[in-house]
Amino acid sequence: MTFTAQIGNVVFQDIIYNSSGPRCTTLEELRALGESESSAIMMKSCSPEPRDGNPEPRYKEVELGSINSIGLANHGYKKYIEYAAELKEQFPEKPVVVSIVGFCPEDFVNLVTAFQNEPNVDVLEVNLSCPNVVGKPQIAYDFETSDELLAKIFQIPGDKPIGLKLPPYFDPVHTAMMAEVLKKYPISFITCINSVGNTLIIDPEAEAPLIAPKWWLGGLGGDYVKPVALANVRMFYKLLWDRMMIIGCGGIKSWVDVFEHLLAGASLVQLGTVLGKEDTACFARIQQEFYEYMEKKWYTDAKQIIGQLKEL
């Protein structure tokens, strides 16, 4: 079987790795990803300066997923440059993927420039979709601002592949509008989706919300969001299949979810909520389940599956 993927010149030996979110902030957590069956090491979204994020409680697991309002807590980009050097030395065969987030255009430009010049980072994912920073809207819902920002980013010299982490879109018109913006630039991939933002889960026993920040609203992940993620993967695949790779993220906790994301159009998939719940053992479990089922289906290459959803 050949279930590998390639972003630019960067080869992923398997199609499953972690999303930027749970268990990827500290060097110890990143080393654990390197030691696991994750096909890459994705780092926590990093900002120009270290951030403590939002006050606790800010993350809660629930039966069908999770809700969080972490608020981009991270160690700052300079620390992740240090981490990348250690990770590449210890795990030279695994791609190191950095997630970048800023609070103004200059932040994004400075961070992309820094990581384009960092030899131990292989791929850049630009996060345009964090829903959990108080007072800061999600950039990718503003198509004009996204266009202006991407124009700045893709003027920066460098040959590392750059992709975007996108929020969920809930109307095909908005998906099409964003696709028209994306077509203007040499984007290597888009990741669909970030958490579904500004949701509320209530504990009926306590008669209170589960998390404290941002008026108790947080990003929803897990089973709740898989249909939304699949819809976004499919719509963007139909609009952009010949221009850039689609990476699926949202509600993946078994081989079934991986298979469905590939059918919809994803070439790689990321694990988030399940990684938070099960730790890094989830990669080996899901891969084994997936390969066993592919053998039963007589599939030997991901290209036989990607985008091959049968339309009614």
Q: Which residues are part of the catalytic machinery? A: 130
What whole-number distance in Å separates Cα of residue 92 and Cα of residue 106?
Answer: 31
Tokens 């078994």 correspond to 254
Q: Tell me which residue of 163, 167, 104, 175 sits closest to 130, measured CA to CA.
A: 167
- Any idea of the CA torsion for 136, 138, 140, 142, to the nearest 10 degrees? -60
Sequence-separated (6 or more) residues with CB below 8 Å from residue 265: 233, 234, 236, 237, 238, 241, 246, 248, 306, 307, 309
CA dihedral 153, 158, 159, 162 (to 10 degrees): -20
Alpha helices in the chain (DSSP H): 27-35, 77-90, 105-116, 143-153, 172-182, 213-216, 226-240, 255-264, 273-278, 281-297
Strand partners, 199: 218
CA distance 15 to 141: 28
Tokens of 2: 């050949």
Contact 225, 164 (CB under 8 A): no
Residue 295: burial class (beta carbons within 10 Å; 0-12, 13-18, 19+): exposed
Distance (Å, rounded) from C-alpha 68 to C-alpha 276? 11
